[in-house]
Amino acid sequence: MKEVSELNFPEDLKYSDDHEWAQQTDGVARIGISDYAQNQLGDIVFVELPEVGEAFEKGQEFGAVESVKAVSELYMPVGGEITAINEALEDAPELVNNDPYAGGWMVEVKLTGPAEFEELKDKQAYLEILKG
């Protein structure tokens, strides 16, 4: 496992306490797990995602990531309706390990409450959580 200082945390993303990230464009948020989360999980072998059209509230479980070590639930960092899923993860779940932000994103959500996005942590606040 890598040290926190060796991991990538883009400045233009927001982060949740549950280690999901979100990036908003025009009321739609793209969501995945952070570099820290994928590093802790190890080699990811399966990603379970919801169906397009399903709606979730902030904090609700929306899927799971299975690695060789464990299964970890995914929690919605913002409320909304699923508008897209990253179908590439079905055949290549390792994309989450290789690039958790670009190739390894998981879902896109039409936000129901844009203010929830603003409540997420910026890079510095997220790093403070990781340093504990």
CATH architecture of 11-127: Beta Barrel (2.40)
What is the model's pLDDT at position 114? Answer: 83
Residue 37 DSSP symbol = H
Question: Per the structure block, which two tokens stand in for 127?
Answer: 């790093």
Kindly give, in sequence order, each residue whose CB lies less than 8 Å from that of residue 17, ignoring residues fewer than 6 positions away.
121, 129
The tens place of each residue's pLDDT in the chain, 132 residues long, gives 899 999 999 999 999 999 999 999 999 999 999 999 999 999 999 999 999 999 999 999 999 999 999 999 999 999 999 999 999 999 999 999 999 999 999 999 999 988 999 999 999 999 999 988
What order do you get walking across the sheet with 55-56 strand by strand?
A: 14-15, 20-25, 28-33, 107-111, 80-85, 55-56
Name the residue ranges covered by the structural domains of the chain: 11-127
What is the model's pLDDT at position 1? Answer: 87
